[in-house]
Amino acid sequence: MLVMAAILLTQLGASLAKQLFSDVGPGGTVFLRLAFGAVILSALSRPRLRGHGRRGALLIVVFGLTFAGMNGAFYASIDRIPLGVAVTIEFIGPLAVGLLGSRRPLDLVWVALAAAGILLLGDGIGEGTDLWGVALALLAGVFWGAYILLTGRVGRRFDDGAGLALALIVAAVAVAPLGLAQGGLDLLDPSVLAIGLVVAVVSSALPYSFELEALRRLRAATFGVLMSLEPATAALVGALVLGEALRTSEWLAVVMVVLASAGAARGARVIAVHE
């Protein structure tokens, strides 16, 4: 229940964020999300800014820039392509990390199934599909994979949510120039700020807390299988909330990537949450 709630909240948050794009653009929206997220988690964890050493500071900077890249590329992608398609393409990142954690011959089947799903999604490229949107979703997937690999190192070095809070501060600063350029004075609009705060809570604070609690109760492989439902959930939320109806071939591609991710996760050693 915790995992499913986290997945649903994350995608609902993304759909809500997309409705801010007309006011402040993807850059302004991701800036609000990261800035509010940094404030919320800093208030909860009260991280120390000093005393982490050069390596600790460098780890936080890299983690924060990865955070900024993951969220910035993802928001830019869903500004151009449907939410379900973007999340399905982006999921290649954690799928690749999961496969790196396993050495079973069966993994070749999951690779082939995922590749077939992505190729099926790309079947319509050149017929109205935004190439930049696809490329940005792939870039977000690369950052997501890096985020997963870095999460374990940050968790071992920093207590509670201190590492994540510090990384969010770095991420918010990194996207600030683009966010301010796209959002301008509209970022000060009370309604925009209110929605931005809701997005930060729904997309970041609550899902992250739910996932951490779920990991205390579930085996990592079980958690990974459940998280593989995220592309399908994104497609449903996109269709119901944003009216982004997918074609039959696109739904089939989503199902193929979900099955590949679930299969890979059952044998993976590396599992981490998605912010």
Q: Residues 6 or more apart from 120 whose CB is under 8 A from it?
A: 249, 250, 252, 253, 256
* pTM as predicted: 0.83
274 touches 203 (CB < 8 A): no
Matching residue, tokens 């079973």: 104
127 touches 118 (CB < 8 A): no
More confident residue, 31 or 231: 31
Which of 5-9, 45-49, 181-185 is the least confident region? 45-49
CA 62 to chain CA mean position, Å: 17
Q: Residues 6 or more apart from 127 whose CB is under 8 A from it?
A: none
User: Domain residue spans in the chain?
Assistant: 2-265
**Closest listed residue to residue 254, CA positions, set 93, 113, 148:** 113
Question: Which tokens hold the place of 130?
Answer: 């935004």
163 touches 150 (CB < 8 A): no
What is the C-alpha to C-alpha distance for residues 265 and 271, in angstroms, rounded to an integer?
Answer: 8
- What pLDDT is recorded for position 126? 47
Matching residue, tokens 């500004």: 79
- What pLDDT is recorded for position 275? 44
Q: Residues 6 or more apart from 70 whose CB is under 8 A from it?
A: 140, 143, 144, 146, 147, 275
More confident residue, 82 or 257: 82
Q: How confident is the model at residue 191 (pLDDT cuts 50, 70, 90)?
A: very high
Which 3 state secondary structure label does DSSP give 129? strand
Beta partners for residue 125, in sequence order: 129
Which of 53-67, 138-152, 247-261 is the least confident region? 247-261
Supply the mean pLDDT for the chain.
81
**Closest listed residue to residue 166, CA positions, set 22, 251, 28, 48:** 48
Which one of 58-62, 97-101, 149-153 scores highest in mean pLDDT?
A: 58-62
Question: Which tokens hold the place of 122?
Answer: 């790309």
What is the C-alpha to C-alpha distance for residues 70 and 140, in angstroms, rounded to an integer?
Answer: 5
